[in-house]
Every structure is written in C-alpha cells, then in structure tokens.
Structure 1
C-alpha cells in the first residue's frame, strides 16, 4: 500500500532577506573595519603629507543700485559669478605683472556672498606673500570693475533722460510758436485752440522738469554707490591648524572607508548567496541543526571565552555520542568548510565512545587534517590503545567484532560522491556558517539523497551569536502514535532504530517531485 501526502504549499521567498543581509554584513566586519581604518590612516596622511596651500581672504562691501531689504541674495551671487570671469582675473594678473593665464588663475580663487552686500574673496597660492598680493589685486580689480559698471550705467541712464528732455523741449518750442501765431490773429476765432495749446505747453513743461530731475538724480546717486563699494577687510592670511586638518581629513576618510566597506560587504553577500542563518542552512540542506560550535576565541579575551567554548564542545560531543552509540550502521562526519573543526570533533567523539568499546576511526579528510587537529578537550586525549585510525583507502569493509566504526570525510567541491557510501550510511554534516553557497548546499542534499545516505542532522560551526532563527525542520513524516512501552521518537532527523527496514526520506531539494511517497 502506498500513501501519498501532498506537500505543503510553497511560500514565495522575498527578493532580499534583510535579516540575512545584516548578518552577512556583520560577519564581514573585518572587511569594512579594515577599509574604515585604511580610510582613517589615508585621511590623516593626506593632511600631513599634503598640507593645504597658503590661503588669503579679503572682504569687499558691494553697493547696488537695486538694493532691497528683502533681496534673497541674487545680486551678491551675481557679483561672485562676475568675480570668476577672465576679465577681472586678467586685470588682477596685469596689476601684479604675472605671466599666468587668467583661465588658470580662476581655479585658484573663489567668491562667497556673506550677506546681500558683503563678498568674501578667497585666494590660494604657492607662498603666503603671493596669496596676500593676489587677494589684494583681485579685490581692487573687482571694485574697479564694479565702479566702472555703476558709472557706465549712470551715464547711460542720464544720457537717455537728457535726450528725452531735449526732445520734449523741441516740442515745447513748437507749441510756444503756435501760441504766438494764434495770439496775433483773431482772438474770438482762436480761443478754443489757444486753450489746447496752453494745456500742451503746461504738460510739456512738467515733463521736461521731471526728466531733468531724474537725470540729475542719476548723476548724484552714482558717487554714493561708488564711495560705498570698497574693501572693508584687507587681505589677511588664514592660519591652517595641522591637528585640526588631520582630524577632519581622518574623520572624512573613516566615514568614506566605512561606507565603502559596508557597501562592498552587502554587495558581496547578495552576489555570493551564502546562507548564514540556521533556518536557511537547514532549509537548503534539508536537515535540522543538531547543535553548534562557536568560533575559537582569539585575542586578549580568549581566556575569558575559552571555558564557554570548551563547555559547548563537550555538549556537542555528548550529543553526537548519543546519536552514534548503540547503532549498527557506520556514522560519518562530513565537513563543509570546517575540516580542522571536524577532525577535532571526530577525535573528541572517538575518545568518548572508546569508554564503552574499541573505536575504528576512518580518516577520509583530504591531507593530514586529522593529524593536525587539536586534542580532545575534557573527554580524553584523542587517540589511544582502544582507538585505531586508518586512512579511507586502507580501511576494512567492516569493523572487527565489538569494534565501533566512525568515519570522517568531506563534501567540499571536488568530492567523489560515490565514495561516501564506503564511509557510512548515516551522516552528520559539519558545516561552517556562511561558507557554502545555497546552490552547493542543494547539491550536497541531492547527493546525500541519491547515495541513500541518511542525514542525521547538521552541526553548525561558527554560527552568528545574534542568530535567533530556528534550525529545526518540522515538515517530515508524521510520528507514529506512542503506545505503552514504546520509546519516544528521536528528534532532529534521527529516526528510531527498528528491526524492520524503514523508508528513506530524501531531502527537499530543487526539481524533486512535489509529492512524497512512503512504501
């Protein structure tokens, strides 16, 4: 009889998992910390090795004919733009007798509007004396240019008003002549015409007087604007503080390096797609996380954390020993990105298991990782008289009577998958968080299913300390009802050891059928 259970509906995964991204960026803190430090050092070095050039500033009071109290600063902005013209730059260079080109000189100074009528001129040069002289020449050239434009505008306005007044005077002469001619004729016949002529003469006289006053005001107002436009703050040097410049440049470099490092870490995490959370690793491998082992502490705080790591390693050994002890099938530890840690776990586990019976440890790791592995911590010395270590090529097909067989191997890229069956039919995957990509974890799960190797669970190496996700898969086959005297089902993918053959449940990997069959 075949039972078919429909698989639960798949939920669409988000395009970008922010939690995984944050964890991945935090795990790459060495990268962005290093870049921030490099930016800090480079910023400070630039301030020391390349100090700012000598700088001089001058302040000019600028008067405008259209000054208004509510001016938003457009007039002073126009003056700052006029300061950046080749005309003023050439006049200043000519006054200094410098052979430099105005186009190049423009790049060495700038104008800033402090208020509606105050313009600050900043000039940089090779020496302090040159900076002061150029600032003075620029200020004088700007004042002269501004005064010249005021006078030209006043003269043009006065000339226009005077010409208009002269035209009106010519019209007034014609009106006066008409009045004289009309007065010599018959007064009775010309009375209405005389009234019109007298009205025109009065209007023309008024307009002539108005234009004359406006022309006079245009000429009178110019000296006031010319006298008001002047240098109010003589050119002076700006004293640069080296410590302040170094601190500013170092802070800017630190921020830029930090931002660049975080951006690179984020982009690398998205492109690499290496799962770091328990739930993602368990989902991609199709097996639950049994236990985990934190990173080996280093640095000045290593002694404070060594006890915590040793206790975690002892708990890990005890957990795996319960999975291995009493089983008839060989259990193998398969590493992914954690060969040294897997070798140490295997030695600890062998030292714990040999208390009950002799252990045959089959070494299938590449190189000599098992020989370089750290000795067992708190459970034994790693190898002894009751532990036999052999390479996978020289391992016997079956252990001696009363001897427990334990194997270690690898599922890293380049693994010969068909050789894994010779290591064992039950496996514990020892995976370093953030090492393998999601595609490779799927590959490992598929190969385990195709080789008919039962995955007991996953041991997570170097997990994120702030990871609070659940690494247990709950979508397995339904547990049988518990009866009297029946032992409880073992969790996290470890099936109970029965005498009858149990169905093999394959891992949930891509392109598999959506239905699961149990025969």
Structure 2
C-alpha cells in the first residue's frame, strides 16, 4: 500500500470497511460545528444600490468605491445611526462596497439583526451620495457659478459691439472694409466656440447627480456561514481528516506483503501459500474486554488496506494446497519429527490455517503410510511484542504460519530470534490469505474430529508444553 497509487477503489474500500468509524467521526465533526455556531452569533447582510448616471471610466468607479468606504462616510453614518458602543472604525469592518454592472455601486451592511443591517446599508449609501456631491462641487462653489454667468453676459456684450462695428464700417466694397467685416465675423465665431467649450467643461453639467435606488431590502436569512453550514462543514472536515489519516497510515505502513520478503525476514524457505475462507469465526478469544468490544463495534478489528478477498476454488482444491505443504515439509525433514507451528498472536487467518495444517497432517492421506509419514504438529501462538517460544523438548523445529501484509520485518525477525533462542530451527514458512469460499461438496469436507482439532491452539507460556 505504501507504494501504490491512491485510487478511487482505495477510497471506496475505506468507506466500506470503516463506515462505522467514519460515521462516528462525522457526528463528532457536526457537534464541533454546532459548538462553533454558538460562539459566533448569527449575522445578516443586505445591500443598497447607488446609480451613477452618465459615462464613467473604470478608474473613476474604483475611486467612488474608495470614497464610499472612507472614514469620512462611515463616521458620518455612525453619527446618524447613534448605536451605543459602535464607532466608525468598528462599523467600517461591517461595510462592503463593490461595483456592479451598469454603473451601479452596491453598498452592503452586516449586523446582528435584519433591521440593523438594513439601516446600516441605507445610511452609508445616503452619506456616500452626499459626500460625493460635495466633492464634485454641487453645493460648495456658488462663486464659480456666479463667475460663469458674468462671463456669459460679457460675451453677449462683446457680440453686440462686434455687430455695431460691422455696421459702422464703410458700406462700400473696398478691400479694407471687406477685410474688417471678415475679421469681426471670425472674432464672433471664436467667442461662440470658446463659450461652448466652457459650458461643456462645467462640472455641474458634466455628470448628473448620484441616485440611491430605493431602500435596502430587509434580509430574510442569515449571512454565511450559517449554523447549518458550520455543522455540515464540521462533519465533512472530520470525514476528510479521517480519510487522510487512513491514507497516511497506509503510506507509512512497513508490513511485508510478499512471500519472498517474509521468507527473507524469517531466514527460512517458503513451503507454499494456502487459503482460508474469509468468514469470521463464531468465537473470538481476542474479543474480550471493553476496548476489544469497542474496536469490534467500530470495525477496527479488521484490516481495511488489504484487497477484497478473491473467490477461491471449492474446499477440495484448498485441501490440496494444504496436502502439498505437508508433503514439502515431510521431504525437508530426515524423518518423522514433532514440530511447533508458530502463529503470531492476533493473526486469526494464520491460526485457522495452522489448525487446518494440523488436521491434514493427522489425516496423512499419502499411500503406504501408517500415520508416520507427516510430522506431528502442535500449534502455539506467540506474542509479537514479546515473542516467547516453548523450549525444545519433544518438538525439534518450528514451522511459521502467518498472513501476508500483517507484520513488519522487525516483528518477524523477533519471532525468528525467539525460535532460535528456544533451540528450534525454522524449517519452513507458510503464507496464508483470506478468500471468498464457494459452496462446498459434502464429500470434500474434512472429518469432524479434524475441524474440532484446529479450533483449539496452545498458547505459549515460555516453557515446554
């Protein structure tokens, strides 16, 4: 798993095999989101629209946005609202301004109640229009308007004087009189064009005044994040963290998954691989205690990072694998011997496979043998954290049976050292895996005494047994 690419099938496997744990973590995340919603009071947001008639460039609109959020506008709005304990600086954090399509500026206000949010938006919009009009000079430059009117009167008097001069000129058709009248007409035209340009440049007639497009609508719902959003977000966050945690744990997992790696860690040879039906046994000795019950309820007692068991052949084909392992084991030994079948404690699949090996060794199906062809096997479970194998007594050798992907190289090396310390040579290794069993034929089932024998292993206590 540590070298595999994370695929959707891996995520699906996590959801299938850890659904109870993921459901519990999602509920915890939802409770955390609910608690967060209690710490943050609900807020409401609404906006008022201000229309800017005429032609406006983008930089001019951005300038108006800065004006709307300036301290001058917000402080004036705070003074008109007269909210206790709320200054203009604090109010500025609850005001937002943005440019919409069609030269419209939207001024939004956020407050703890719908009424206060509506009042905040309306007051800021009104103060913005008033302040922008003052900057444009609508109300603060009466002397400029007076000067412009005086200039118009002066131009009119000049035009009348030009007309008098043209009439007083020599009515004859002399060159001098024609040139004089032509120059006077040019002067009249120049004055008219200058006056037209002056009127077009008048700021009072450049852009019409801004208009507030009605009062802000009273909000009917909370502004995000709402309580429901916090609850859902907390559940999704915890669910995502749980999945990431599973993937990270699988990435750093150093458990051996291939038979050659397992054989190298134990320093022995591989005798073969066998299959065990993947159904859970009815009795689980390791399921005692409240911690084990909690792990079983949450589904933590089963591995999630192993692939879904493949469908195997019938029971007869599985027994053939066990018989071949027994035959290879018999061929490696000089004569009939008693061996310990060492199974790591907690490896349920290996324990069941070891019991089946014991049953096959006792059945001794080889022709011409009188129960002395196969070695005599006795199953012992060894703790991986503190491995202890019974001392050499009637048994002289160890056969290690374990499932793939369950143990690290260090743990297997500890088992090999415990076997050597007890005087047992590891004569072989059998790797087992879970499969989905097919319906079996009654003729291929093992004897009843063999089935009972494989269910009762002997736990190692450090002495011979």
- Equivalent in the alignment of 1:281: 258
C-alpha separation in 1, matches of 2:393 and 2:243: 43
Change (3 A) 1:41 1:100: closer
Equivalent residue in structure 2 for 1:261, among 242, 258, 274: 242
Give unmatched runs, 5+ long, in structure 1. 1-13, 302-307, 358-399, 466-519
Task: State the secondary structure of the residue aligned to 2:55.
Answer: coil
Judge conservation of contact 2:65–2:97 (CA < 8 Å) in 1.
yes
CA apart distance, 1:42: 3.5
Match of 2:102 among 113, 116, 124: 116
Instruction: Verify: 1:18 aligned to 2:26, yes or no.
Output: no
CA shift digits 1:20-75 (9 cap, x unpaired): 9964983585365544443344345655x46852525242232154337xx7xx76
The alpha-carbon distance between structure 1 residues 59 and 128, as it changes in their structure 2 partners (threshold 3 A), is: closer
Alignment CA distance shift 1:401-1:208 (3 Å): closer
Per-residue CA deviations over 1:170-206 (Å, capped at 9, x if unaligned) read xx99xx9xx99xx9xxxx9999997997697467424
Name 1:66's counterpart in structure 2. Answer: 55
CA distance in 2, matches of 1:51, 1:312: 62
Residue in 1 that maps onto 2:410 = 440
User: 3-state DSSP class of the match of 1:124?
Assistant: strand
Question: 1:206-260 deviations in whole A, cap 9, x for unaligned?
Answer: 44223332145x32355x324xx11423441323499x95554444334333332
Query: Does the CA contact (< 8 Å) of 2:339 and 2:375 recur in 1?
Result: no
Instruction: Tell me the secondary structure at the aligned position of residue 205 of structure 2.
Output: helix
Quick check: 2:36–2:230 contact (8 Å CA) kept in 1?
Answer: yes
Where in structure 2 are the equivalents of 1:151-300 lying within 5 Å?
Answer: 151=137, 201=187, 204-216=190-202, 218-222=203-207, 224-226=208-210, 229-240=211-222, 245=226, 247-274=228-255, 280-286=257-263, 287=270, 289-294=273-278, 296=280
Q: Distance in 2 between matches of 1:312 and 1:45?
A: 55
Measured against aligned partners, the alpha-carbon deviations of 1:62-109 in whole angstroms (never above 9, x if no partner) come to: 2154337xx7xx766655554433222211111122342322222223
CA contact (8 A) 1:110 1:121 kept: yes
Q: Quick check: 1:324–1:331 contact (8 Å CA) kept in 2?
A: no
Given the superposition, is the C-alpha separation of residues 219 and 146 from structure 1 closer, same or farther in structure 2, using an over 3 Å criterion? Answer: closer
Deviations 1:319-378, CA, capped at 9 Å, x for gaps: 446533793344443334634554455455546655669xxxxxxxxxxxxxxxxxxxxx
1:413/1:431 CA distance change after superposition, 3 Å? farther
Which secondary structure does the structure 1 equivalent of 2:97 belong to? strand
| 1:92 corresponding residue in structure 2 | 77
Change in 2 beyond 3 A, CA 1:457/1:131: same
Q: CA deviation at 1:458?
A: 0.3
- Residue 341 of structure 2 corresponds to which residue in structure 1? 333
Q: Is 1:57 equivalent to 2:57 in the alignment?
A: no
Q: Does the residue aligned with 1:236 lie in a helix, a strand or coil?
A: coil
Say if 1:348 and 1:453 are closer, same or farther in 2 by CA, change over 3 A: closer
**Aligned Cα root-mean-square deviation (Å):** 5.6
1:38 to 28, 40, 49: 28
Change (3 A) 1:36 1:54: closer
Q: Does the alignment pair 1:458 with 2:431? A: yes
What is the CA-CA distance between 1:18 and the residue it aligns to? 0.9
2-structure distance, mates of 1:51, 1:145: 34
Checking the alignment, whether the CA contact within 8 Å between 1:60 and 1:231 is kept in structure 2 is yes
Q: When the two structures are aligned, how many residues end up with a matched partner? A: 372
TM-score (norm 2): 0.58
Please, which runs of 5 or more residues in structure 2 have no aligned partner? Answer: 264-269, 282-295, 300-309, 331-335, 366-371, 437-465
Confirm or deny: 8 A CA contact 1:61 1:231 kept in the other structure.
yes
Distance 2:52 2:348 in 1: 80
The corresponding residue for 2:120 is: 134
Contact 1:59–1:234 (CA under 8 A) maintained in structure 2: yes
| Residue aligned with 1:267, SS | helix
- Map of 1:297-308 to 2, 5 A cutoff? none
Per the alignment, residue 402 of structure 2 pairs with: 430
> 1:20, 1:419 → 2: CA distance?
47
TM-score by length of 1: 0.53
C-alpha distance after superposition, 1:121-150 (max 9, x if no partner): 443334444333333322322232333334
1:462-503 per-residue CA deviation (whole Å, 9 max, x = no partner) reads x8x8xxxxxxxxxxxxxxxxxxxxxxxxxxxxxxxxxxxxxx
Match of 1:391 in 2: none
Q: 1 CA distance for matches of 2:54 and 2:345? A: 78
